Amino acid sequence: MSAVMITRKVRKWESSGKEHFLLRWTRNDGPQKGVFYLTLFLIVGTCLTVLSIRVSRPIAASTLFIWAMITKNVIGACPYLAIHLSPAIPVFAIVLFLFVMAMLLRTSFSDPGVLPRALPEEATFIEMEIEAANGNVPAGQRPPPRIRNVQINGQIVKLKYCYTCKIFRPPRASHCSICDNCVDRFDHHCPWVGNCVGKRNYRYFYLFTLSLSLLTIYIFTFDIVHVVLRSVDSGFVKTLQDTPGTYPFVLVCFFTLWSVVGLTGFHTYLISLNQTTNEDIKGSWSGKNRVQNPYSHKNILKNCCEVLCGPAYPSVLDRRGLMRDDLPITSSAAVPAIRSNPVPQTTKTTAPLIPNEHTPDDTKPSIADTTNPHAEKSSPSPKEEKQPTLYKALHSPSLQSTVWTYEKTCF
Amino acid sequence: MLEYWRNRWGGWNTSGETEFHNLQELRHSASLATKVFIQRDYSEGTVCRFQTKFPSELDSRIERTLLEDTVKTLNTYYAEAEKMGGQSYMEGCLACATAYIIFLCMETHYEKVLKKISGYIQEQNEKIYAPRGLLLTDPIERGMRVMEVSVFEDRGSSGSSLSSSATSGGSAQR
Pick the residue with more confidence: A314 or B172?
A: A314
Catalytic residues of A: 190
Q: Which residue in A121, A306, A340, A347 has the most chain B C-beta atoms within 10 A of its own C-beta, making it the best mutation to test that interface?
A: A121
- Smallest Cα distance from B56 to chain A, Å: 7
Confidence of residue B171 (pLDDT cuts 50, 70, 90): very low
- Smallest Cα distance from A29 to chain B, Å: 35
- Average pLDDT for residues B147-165, to the nearest whole number? 63
> What pLDDT is attached to residue A385?
41
Q: Which candidate, A77, A358, A391, A83, places its Cα nearest to that of B32? A: A391
Rounded distance, CA A182 to CA A179, Å?
A: 8
The rounded percent of chain A whose pLDDT value lies above 70 is 57
Highest mean pLDDT pick, A267-276, A282-291, A379-388: A267-276
Pick the residue with more confidence: B14 or A289?
A: A289
> What pLDDT is attached to residue A324?
52
DSSP B40: B
* pTM assigned to the model: 0.68
Residues of B in contact with A328 (CB under 8 A): 32
The mean pLDDT value of chain A amounts to: 69
Q: Please answer yes or no on whether A102 and B101 come within 8 Å at the CB atom.
A: yes
Count of C-beta atoms within a 10 Å radius of residue B152: 27
Say how far residue A282 (Cα) sits from the centre of its chain: 18
The rounded percent of chain A whose pLDDT value lies above 90 is 17
Q: Does A306 touch chain B (CB under 8 A)?
A: yes
Pick the residue with more confidence: A193 or A42?
A: A193
Residues of A in contact with B146 (CB under 8 A): 122
* CB-CB contact of A325 with A12 (8 Å): no
A189 has a pLDDT exceeding 60: yes
Residues of B in contact with A184 (CB under 8 A): 46
Residues of A in contact with B57 (CB under 8 A): 336, 339
Q: Are strands A155-162 and A167-168 parallel, antiparallel or unpaired?
A: antiparallel
The helix/strand/coil state of A147 is strand
Phi, psi of A183 (to 5 degrees): -120, 135
Q: Which candidate, A26, A42, A30, A56, places its Cα nearest to that of A407? A: A56
A27 has a pLDDT exceeding 60: no
Could you give the angle at which helices B86-97 and B109-124 cross, rounded to 10 degrees?
130
The mean pLDDT value of chain B amounts to: 77
Pick the residue with more confidence: A30 or A125?
A: A125
Q: Does A21 touch chain B (CB under 8 A)?
A: no
A400 has a pLDDT exceeding 80: no
> What pLDDT is attached to residue B101?
86
DSSP characters for A161-230? EETTTTEEPPTT-EEETTTTEEETT--EEETTTTEEE-TTTHHHHHHHHHHHHHHHHHHHHHHHHHHHHH
Q: Please answer yes or no on whether A391 and B32 come within 8 Å at the CB atom.
A: yes
Rounded distance, CA A155 to CA A186, Å?
A: 20
Pick the residue with more confidence: B159 or A62?
A: A62
A381 has a pLDDT exceeding 80: no
Q: Which residue in B5, B41, B46 has the most chain A C-beta atoms within 10 A of its own C-beta, making it the best mutation to test that interface?
A: B46
Q: Does A171 touch chain B (CB under 8 A)?
A: yes
Give the Å distances, CA to CA, from A182 to A160, A185, A187.
11, 9, 12
Count of C-beta atoms within a 10 Å radius of residue A98: 12
Chain B contacts in chain A segment 359-388 (CB below 8 A)? 387-388
Q: Does A81 touch chain B (CB under 8 A)?
A: no
> What pLDDT is attached to residue A206?
95
Say how far residue B130 (Cα) sits from the centre of its chain: 14
* pLDDT tens-digit map of B74-93: 999 999 998 888 888 888 88
Lowest mean per-residue pLDDT among A119-123, A292-296, A373-377 = A373-377
Q: Report the run of H or E that residue B154 belongs to, with start and end.
A: strand B146-154
A279 has a pLDDT exceeding 60: yes
Contacts of residues A338-343 at CB distance under 8 Å and 24 or more positions apart, as own/partner, are A338/A128, A338/A131, A338/A132, A339/A129, A339/A132, A339/B55, A339/B56, A339/B57, A340/B56, A341/B53, A341/B56, A342/A133, A343/B39, A343/B51, A343/B53
Find the farthest-apart pair of alpha carbons in chain A and give their distance in angstroms, rounded.
100
Rounded distance, CA A357 to CA A160, Å?
A: 10
Say how far residue B121 (Cα) sits from the centre of its chain: 4
A96 has a pLDDT exceeding 80: yes
Count of C-beta atoms within a 10 Å radius of residue A4: 12
Rounded distance, CA A49 to CA A63, Å?
A: 11
- Average pLDDT for residues A55-80, to the nearest whole number? 65
Q: Please answer yes or no on whether B51 and A343 come within 8 Å at the CB atom.
A: yes
* pLDDT tens-digit map of A209-222: 999 999 888 888 88
Rounded distance, CA A147 to CA A149, Å?
A: 7
- Average pLDDT for residues A127-136, to the nearest whole number? 82
> What pLDDT is attached to residue B77?
94
The rounded percent of chain B whose pLDDT value lies above 90 is 29
The helix/strand/coil state of B123 is helix
A233 has a pLDDT exceeding 90: no
Sign of CA dihedral B160, B163, B164, B166: negative
Rounded distance, CA A167 to CA A139, Å?
A: 26
Count of C-beta atoms within a 10 Å radius of residue A284: 17
Q: Please answer yes or no on whether B46 and A295 come within 8 Å at the CB atom.
A: yes
Give the Å distances, CA to CA, from B155 to A123, A390, B19, B23.
26, 8, 20, 15
Rounded distance, CA A280 to CA A303, Å?
A: 16
Q: Does A335 touch chain B (CB under 8 A)?
A: yes
> What pLDDT is attached to residue B122?
94
- Average pLDDT for residues A372-385, to the nearest whole number? 41
Rounded distance, CA A281 to CA A262, Å?
A: 16
Lowest mean per-residue pLDDT among A327-336, B36-45, B110-119 = A327-336
B126 has a pLDDT exceeding 90: yes
The helix/strand/coil state of A103 is helix
Confidence of residue A333 (pLDDT cuts 50, 70, 90): very low
Residues of A in contact with B101 (CB under 8 A): 102
Q: Which residues, in sequence order, are bridge partners of residue A76?
A: none
Phi, psi of B134 (to 5 degrees): -125, 160
- Average pLDDT for residues A191-207, to the nearest whole number? 90
* pLDDT tens-digit map of A348-362: 434 433 333 344 443
A151 has a pLDDT exceeding 50: yes
